[in-house]
Amino acid sequence: MEGSKATPTPMITTCQLSATEGQPVENASLYRSIVGALQYVVITRPNIAFAVNKHGTLDHGLHFTKNSKLLLEGFSNASWGSDINDRRSTSSYCVFLGESPISWSSRKQQAVSRSTAEVEYKSLAHVITEMIWIQSLLTELGVSLRDKALVWCDSSAAVAIAGNSVLHSKFKHVELDLFFVREKVVQGLF
């Protein structure tokens, strides 16, 4: 560990991974052997895995000052049909308490979505679910928030659907998420 150097991003962020494209590894046996050895070290020596994980992150943390305004904010986003192998979409969100990110997720949706509004709305439902849980946790810890939580979504269609009490026939297949989000909006939670 003495001579090791931390890297902030171990992978190229613009890389498009595909199950059908690309070149196979030259020596598949050697590759599997190296990956297996690394997995063995992680499983048998969690103390080493933990130390390696923390190397280069000593200055990372949640920063709250006495005068900081504790505002709970959630940001949702989605990419429609982004997986080139099966065209399933990816939902993601990030929740901030003040200026510190406290929860985030990026996951592939379970079914192929038929519209960007549907994808964005599902992502909106995920962030609202997480924020309700965080609000409950903060209440249990005795932390009171002065302001109402804010949710940001970059889809005007998803925002319009959340605020509209009419169920559109084109959106009936998303009913559970639809009514969940609308209920929370009507309750004034967001």
pLDDT surpasses 60 at 167: no
> Residue 1's pLDDT band (boundaries 50, 70, 90)?
low
- Domain containing residue 174: CATH number: 3.30.420.10
pTM tops 0.85: no
Q: How high is the pLDDT of residue 175?
A: 61
Q: Tell me, yes or no, whether 122 lies in a domain.
A: yes
Number of structural domains in the chain: 1
pLDDT for res 145: 86
First to last CA, the chain: 47
Q: Which domain holds residue 134?
A: 72-186
153 belongs to a structural domain: yes
Place 176 in a pLDDT band, splitting at 50, 70 and 90. low
Q: State residue 127's pLDDT score.
A: 93
Structural domain includes residue 179 = yes
Per the domain annotation, does 126 fall within a domain?
yes
Q: Distance (Å, rounded) from C-alpha 110 to C-alpha 90?
A: 9
Judged against a pLDDT cut of 70, whether residue 174 lies above it is answered with: no
CA separation, residue 51 to residues 2, 57, 61, 76, 152 (Å)? 12, 10, 16, 32, 36
pLDDT in tens, 15-69: 777 777 778 888 989 989 998 998 898 899 988 888 887 877 877 888 777 777 8
Q: Judge whether 23 lies within some domain.
A: no
pLDDT, tens digit, 9 for 90 and up, residues 114-151: 677 778 888 888 999 999 999 999 999 998 888 899 99
| Residue 8 placed within a domain | no
Rounding to the nearest 10 degrees, give the CA dihedral for residues 107, 109, 110, 114.
Answer: -170
Q: Hunting for tokens 């895995």 — which residue is that? A: 49
Strands (E), the chain: 72-79, 90-97, 100-108, 150-153
